[in-house]
Structure 1
């Protein structure tokens, strides 16, 4: 779809997603209107652990209407022959920096780390997003329909992340996932102590890291008590002075803002779990976690997801003890929540292949993971970690019709996303250039031969 056509479609749609009252920068995202679509006779991975052969998927009114065999198409439906093809939910990446570190990678675009203080809960990644980043389009071509955009990992508390729909828009609010909770990005280990220790300030050690978290959460508790006291007194007298940093952490303490932590070592993840208990908040996911396999049972027992790479390891000391079976071991059969994430503008284009590498590495140690389970690493589990699992992540009736039609099994180096639907609308078609969004930055630029 050309940029102008797509922008015209969006401009013609009434806003249907009112934001929560507490959001001063509300979402203006609205689905593109579309006729019903029926995909017939495909291999369907529902994202919830089921594989259906020779099955149909019906999308209607922006939702999944039905999944099963022999479905009847409405009179005005577009019918697609899925013979030999596979259908999955749209891929969700819980860890991306698209837009906050847009292409081209120049200093003028370096907007992901507010390296002015070790803790900056007051900053929001959404205020750095460049919607014209061409990386959004290449991610869409890889089947990615939703992603969390995060600050970087220089700070102990780097600020709020935001969940977005992977659509073309002139503003980030046009991409913002309506009603999705914010996430706060925290980081442990080497990065904060290197950044600030290198400046001759705290933290310069891991014990300094933990002291920094605790000091900020103690201050946030005091702030929350002050507001609770004011609200309980029928708002008599002057309210407490607003503090944007403490507001974010108060949201964490109240369970309104989800916690995502960049953390590599098992011992540090255990410390962060204890920190969460000390202050009464819950960790949604550890990101990167190359040693997550060492505490996989505890992660499963406490309902914490591991958002992990397939095989990145060894590039610094805290990543030295990674193994290629990490995700397979974190993916405990009952309560495990394993996620394949990117943290890369290139890796996000082939998350399906990253999941395939995990399956291959597991097979070599006699762990057989079928496609219907592996797809959950890319769809259901990340939706759970982002607090949007009731709306997307599986092909269940009533959920958003975020659907990818693949040319074959997605877990192959030969896999290509042929068509990508979002809210039932065809947003990407590999065979139709008018359905391949082009960012403003790329207009007039031809790909190098």
Structure 2
């Protein structure tokens, strides 16, 4: 660790010193040096790095909905009934899930495995440790198995209780699955709890008679029922109730249910509107539940439409406890899939911190808070000397008397913080971990911007605060105290001004949205003159001017609420699943531009985050052909000037192993259309239009490379081919470079959710290289997207606003190989080249940020400069 001592800041106690572990138990912490000799082979030198409690996931389905997704691998939901408290997630827990090791690599070590949310009562949940055991069994993974694991077991009255867990769900999910309404779901709850209450009453009467001395022969058999015994334990406050619940209407209903039947609630999960109704939560029987929420996953259905990134801050300020959770993917009638992002659960806490959650609370939101919520705070979630050591030695088996910690080079809340080792049961889990060195300034929590006003507005406007910008009415806008200015050249992003000291901070003068001077005050301010009424001054406080970003990878602009058909353009026809309607004709290609819907909250949030344009292809499920479009995320309608910089960009298709037809059939169709070369396919074959193929599998990518060469040989022209998604593209980096094929990597952190993309390159600490670094080694033109193109992942429209953070993450993971300028290029000009944006349509917008540059997580976007629209929008 570091020189011994205590340090306090932001409510966090930081111990600088050593730590002594024995069989996974903390025996001492913070001592300058231990007073007895420790063999050198037993010493692990942390070299000043951070040692934090284990990261705990309160909401996971890994193992039950295991990866990669295969037939029979989803055991997360039962569709046999709306209320089934007798089912158990442990009975479907797959020990071979690829999620485990990937999640451990992110510092996650313990998870509550919940049944899915298709049912009002989905079944019982279990806490597991993620490490492999010598026994290799499901049972050996469970942390503190409840005594009721087997019906023949009963707790020792003198021993400490072991918590049980159960999953409930409100709202849309059970209503959709069982073709009912919220009224039906609440009736299912009340009916089930009434049955449990009657059984409890019979048991209580039995026990009262026994205590009164009545003979066993007279009492008969103790009243019990395997179907309802779990709910009886809920009524006896022996079970942690975890409830999937989004909206105020459902939160209020479940709080009433808890008071009607007098049982406490451990947590509301997803819980998008809890920040709007804190007083409702406080009325819960037994005290308010924790809110297990996302930092950004939102607006994918009605229940999540009023999401706020400031929810964690608001809840904390109202005295409520917050737990951050990784976002799930949705498939198979709205079930939740595990661990697609649980490796980056810590990133959820980081984003909540950036949006105003105090530092100590942000760390607690993925450590002690979830540990306490699952009833495991006596043994996990904290760094404490001798944590229940005596109790554990006396009453627990050797398998269970363990603790887990993780070590990281950066402060846990610094973007890109990556463990260099993870311990479970005192056993190091990462073999030869790769360490990505980070700047020294990341050893402390980053500075963050002030979002108090935004948080107040989130509540004031009932979750839907205005998002439109204020256009400056001045002819001149002067940005002062600028640290650096970056512009786009024809092929890259380059720096044009940098201040080396606080005294050198510069200015930029814009007139009608166009920069006319940047550099020193002495050089630029005389241009403005003295007419104050025609001048707006914006203080960037050491901030930056950077090129605006471009988003690609989801149907942004075609949807307002992904799962609400009335708010979307809809899915286009799969030509291989059935005959197309004859009225379409034989050669007509769907244009995304025809279905654009401006003013969605996702688009406006992206605009406010520096993403001023997006390229969108027609929405699809499987195999398709369609024409992409380029639109302005900040425009209010299509006929507004510059709202549609380029109506048609590239020809898009997808090659997937999950389509209704075989991959070879899909390739055959693409070959025929390119050989016949009619319409848009003629433009592709002649090199006038780019072909963008969404594909992840290396074998399919290899076939596309061969197809490109085949078509080029026939037509004699160079085909512009872009591979999008590209999870396994690192396996073909050399071949892609030789074929001059560009790649859009999305997401930048891959996950093997399906068999076709199981051969991912995970990056540090599991591998030195990432997909991006491997491709760059071969000088391939690389673009990035924060979202995945897998059919299992819901469209990531909401994630457009986080593009700048993912670009920054690339820089931090690269060990100095990728500069800020290069990352900005991958999120802007490279995407333009790869997606068929013409020279005339290239985005020349600029973004002004305070507190740092656009890729600095501490920065905040305050203005958009648009030379094309001759405006400056100020936020």
Query: Is the shorter-chain TM-score for this pair beyond 0.5, marking a shared fold?
Result: yes
Q: SS in structure 2 opposite 1:80?
A: coil
1 CA distance for matches of 2:14 and 2:372? Answer: 23
Q: SS in structure 2 opposite 1:306?
A: strand
1:388-430 CA distance string (max 9 Å, x none): 1111110011235311100111223321111111233323355
1 CA distance for matches of 2:5 and 2:408? Answer: 10
After the TM superposition, which residues 10-21 of structure 1 pair with which residues of structure 2 at under 5 Å, given as runs? none
Match status 1:327 vs 2:327: no
- Cα gap change, 1:129 to 1:313, in 2 (>3 Å): same
Which residue of structure 1 lines up, in the alignment, with residue 361 of structure 2? Answer: 373
1 CA distance for matches of 2:24 and 2:60? Answer: 26
Give the Å deviation of 1:61. 3.5
Which residue of structure 1 lines up, in the alignment, with residue 141 of structure 2? Answer: 175
- Cα gap change, 1:232 to 1:300, in 2 (>3 Å): closer
Q: SS in structure 2 opposite 1:159?
A: strand
Give the Å deviation of 1:307. 0.8
2:324 to 340, 346, 353: 340
Match status 1:54 vs 2:30: no
Which residue of structure 1 lines up, in the alignment, with residue 377 of structure 2? Answer: 389
- Cα gap change, 1:347 to 1:64, in 2 (>3 Å): same
1:166-212 CA distance string (max 9 Å, x none): 11132111100025522110000000110001xxxxxx111111111
* Structure 2 residues not aligned, in runs of 5+: 146-161, 211-215, 329-337, 388-401, 436-754, 762-770, 772-875
- Cα gap change, 1:348 to 1:356, in 2 (>3 Å): same
1 CA distance for matches of 2:13 and 2:323? Answer: 19
Match status 1:63 vs 2:25: yes
1:346-402 CA distance string (max 9 Å, x none): 22101111111111122xxxxx622x3311001110011100111111001123531
- Cα gap change, 1:44 to 1:114, in 2 (>3 Å): farther
Which residue of structure 1 lines up, in the alignment, with residue 54 of structure 2? Answer: 90
Match status 1:316 vs 2:301: yes
- Cα gap change, 1:185 to 1:311, in 2 (>3 Å): same
1:110-155 CA distance string (max 9 Å, x none): 2111111000101000000001111111111111111100100000
Q: SS in structure 1 opposite 2:268?
A: strand
1 CA distance for matches of 2:428 and 2:49? Answer: 17
Q: SS in structure 2 opposite 1:171?
A: coil
Give the Å deviation of 1:256. 1.0
- Cα gap change, 1:41 to 1:269, in 2 (>3 Å): farther
Question: Does the CA-based 8 Å contact 2:255-2:280 persist in structure 1?
Answer: no
Which residue of structure 2 lines up, in the alignment, with residue 80 of structure 1? Answer: 44
2 CA distance for matches of 1:414 and 1:161? Answer: 31
Q: SS in structure 2 opposite 1:357?
A: helix
1 CA distance for matches of 2:206 and 2:67? Answer: 46
- Cα gap change, 1:228 to 1:53, in 2 (>3 Å): closer
1 CA distance for matches of 2:317 and 2:280? Answer: 11
Which residue of structure 2 lines up, in the alignment, with residue 146 of structure 1? Answer: 110
Give the Å deviation of 1:245. 2.2
- Cα gap change, 1:68 to 1:158, in 2 (>3 Å): same
Which residue of structure 2 lines up, in the alignment, with residue 414 of structure 1? Answer: 416
Question: Does the CA-based 8 Å contact 1:84-1:408 persist in structure 2?
Answer: no
Which residue of structure 1 lines up, in the alignment, with residue 665 of structure 2? Answer: none
1 CA distance for matches of 2:425 and 2:415? Answer: 27
1:299 to 268, 281, 285: 281
Q: Count how many residue pairs are aligned between Structure 1 and Structure 2.
A: 388
Match status 1:264 vs 2:246: yes
Give the Å deviation of 1:45. 10
Match status 1:243 vs 2:225: yes
Give the Å deviation of 1:44. 9.4
Which residue of structure 2 lines up, in the alignment, with residue 125 of structure 1? Answer: 89
Higher relative contact order (CA 8 A, sep 6+): 1
2 CA distance for matches of 1:373 and 1:74? Answer: 36
1 CA distance for matches of 2:295 and 2:7? Answer: 21
Give the Å deviation of 1:164. 0.8
Q: SS in structure 1 opposite 2:85?
A: coil
2 CA distance for matches of 1:314 and 1:120? Answer: 29
Question: Does the CA-based 8 Å contact 1:402-1:424 persist in structure 2?
Answer: yes
Give the Å deviation of 1:293. 0.5
**Please, what TM-score do these two structures have when normalized by structure 1?**
0.80
Give the Å deviation of 1:161. 0.4
2 CA distance for matches of 1:408 and 1:328? Answer: 23
1 CA distance for matches of 2:261 and 2:184? Answer: 18
Question: Does the CA-based 8 Å contact 2:251-2:280 persist in structure 1?
Answer: no
Question: Does the CA-based 8 Å contact 2:55-2:108 persist in structure 1?
Answer: yes
1:216-240 CA distance string (max 9 Å, x none): 1011000111122223333444325
Question: Does the CA-based 8 Å contact 1:262-1:288 persist in structure 2?
Answer: yes
Question: Does the CA-based 8 Å contact 1:161-1:182 persist in structure 2?
Answer: yes
Which residue of structure 1 lines up, in the alignment, with residue 183 of structure 2? Answer: 207
1 CA distance for matches of 2:251 and 2:7? Answer: 32
Which residue of structure 1 lines up, in the alignment, with residue 703 of structure 2? Answer: none
- Cα gap change, 1:447 to 1:312, in 2 (>3 Å): closer
- Cα gap change, 1:249 to 1:338, in 2 (>3 Å): same
2 CA distance for matches of 1:117 and 1:177? Answer: 29
Which residue of structure 2 lines up, in the alignment, with residue 424 of structure 1? Answer: 426
Which residue of structure 2 lines up, in the alignment, with residue 17 of structure 1? Answer: none
* Structure 1 residues not aligned, in runs of 5+: 1-38, 198-203, 363-367, 434-441
- Cα gap change, 1:425 to 1:332, in 2 (>3 Å): farther
- Cα gap change, 1:385 to 1:75, in 2 (>3 Å): same
Q: SS in structure 2 opposite 1:260?
A: strand
Once the two structures are overlaid, the 10-residue window that deviates more, 237-246 or 136-145, is: 237-246
Question: Does the CA-based 8 Å contact 1:162-1:176 persist in structure 2?
Answer: yes
- Cα gap change, 1:45 to 1:142, in 2 (>3 Å): farther
Question: Does the CA-based 8 Å contact 1:263-1:288 persist in structure 2?
Answer: yes
1 CA distance for matches of 2:227 and 2:73? Answer: 24
1 CA distance for matches of 2:281 and 2:35? Answer: 44
2:77 to 113, 120, 130: 113
Which residue of structure 1 lines up, in the alignment, with residue 405 of structure 2? Answer: 403
2 CA distance for matches of 1:50 and 1:359? Answer: 14
